[in-house]
Amino acid sequence: MEPSRSQRAFLIVIDSVGAGAASDAAAYGDEGADTLGHTAQAVGGLHLPNLEKLGLGNIHKLEGVKPVTGPLAQVTKLNEKSVGKDTMTGHWEMMGVYTTEPFITFTDTGFPAALIKELEEKTGHPVIGNVAASGTEIMNELGEEHLKTEAMIVYTSADSVLQILANEETFGLEELYRCCEIAREITMKPEWRVGRVIARPFIGKKKGEFVRTANRHDYALRPPRNVLDELKDHGLDVIAIGKINDIFDGQGITRAVHSASSVQGMEQTIVVAGEAFNGLCFVNLVDFDAKWGHRRNPVGYAKELEAFDQKLGELMPLIKPGDVLMITADHGNDPTFEGTDHTREKVPFLKYLPGEEGGVVPEGSGFSVIGEYLRRLFIEE
């Protein structure tokens, strides 16, 4: 089916950059969370000139980021409707899929013995770990044992994930991926339904030298039909940068680009912005969440925000009249909050259309306003 019109849309998800506790945050134990606000306070103010011009300071009080007269973007906050506060839930809702039952987590107990037994039998490898842990910490704790025994390091987190950590030089990258595919099949069972299985490769020969590599791969549940499918079915480009292809299990994607970092993800987006395409460039920038939010590091988080803003300054001149640039987040992860879990927060939504007037608009109910806008832009006459 031929596209109805020529248009380019860029949707950038700054993973975990929440903008204050959601109305139902107390139900999640997240009352008072504020990823952006608390990060700015922790470092004595943020320097985000491009986000400031777009109007970020007009919708959220941020030390160092002022409200401006005549913001370049239409700006607001969005409230998640789905149950949960993870990456898949947030991204799926943007494309019109509401999650009514949260994905299963195994944070407190580890995975059931029956699941681990089946995983060992089907992969041919013993399992060590099976706890909720920081990936870097469990890598240093069990890395040497893994090298000696080739046992898979299995761990989880506050999210609905089963992660397998293995040395890509000795265990082998393809073998790790094979084992993760088996784990994905096992965890499709309703009683063990996890949102994602994640391959976590690392290199190094001894404790203190272990380093995770960029060859991470996520095996997500396949989403129901959504706006991405509709765009693809109408002959439009759907270019996925970063984790987007994994989050949607490749569904509705016409081209996937792997990113080794959030800065590289922005550099890849800048390259795509120099191309003639017709459709959506959908970007996830994960380092905010994975490197800084979960590790409760507001200084790192602030530096990542400022690096993003710098790259945003390079991208904006490439957004031409007729294009649209949208910036948002999928949940919060307040680096000053207790624990290491995501935080249930509102998210900023900035929509920049060159040549069109910006301003503050009423808060939206549901992230799906993004998918609805894309449908109107590309499909509906």
Known binding positions for Mn(2+): 15, 289, 294, 330-331, 342
DSSP class of 221: P
Q: Which of 230, 151, 158 is nearest to 195 (CA)?
A: 158
DSSP class of 214: S
Which run of H or of E encompasses 352?
strand 347-352
- Mention every residue, 6+ apart, whose C-beta is less than 8 A from residue 306: 46, 47, 48
The helix-helix angle for 113-123 and 173-186 (nearest 10°) equals 140
Q: How far apart are CA 208 and CA 214, in angstroms?
A: 18
Structure tokens, 107? 């944070």
Structure tokens, 371? 């998918």
| Binding site per annotation, positions | 15, 289, 294, 330-331, 342
Burial (CB < 10 A; 0-12, 13-18, 19+), residue 42, is middle
For 107-135, b/e burial (b = at least 16 CB within 10 A) is beebbeeebbebbeeebebebbbbbbbeb
Q: How far apart are CA 56 and CA 62, in angstroms?
A: 9
CA-CA-CA-CA torsion sign (230, 93, 244, 358): positive
